Amino acid sequence: MAKVETKNPPYTAAHIANYILEKASMDSVEITNLKLQKLVYIFFG
């Protein structure tokens, strides 16, 4: 069986979540837990 190489993403889900929270804080946008999870899923997915 051939070995399949997987690529490691350059960012983790935690990096993306922190970025979203930082941007939301700067723009005074309220982010709920569910909204954050959905956005991380979309960006990371």
10 band by pLDDT with thresholds 50, 70 and 90: confident
> Residue 16 pLDDT > 80, yes or no?
yes
Crossing angle of the two packed helices 33-44 and 13-26, in degrees rounded to 10:
120
Q: Identify which of 42, 45, 40, 34 has the alpha carbon closest to the alpha carbon of residue 18.
A: 40
> 18-25 — which CB contacts under 8 Å span 24+ positions?
none
**What's the pLDDT at 44?**
75
The predicted model gives 10-23 an average pLDDT of: 94
Phi, psi for 14 (deg, rounded to 5): -65, -40
Of all residues in the chain, the percent with pLDDT exceeding 90 is 69
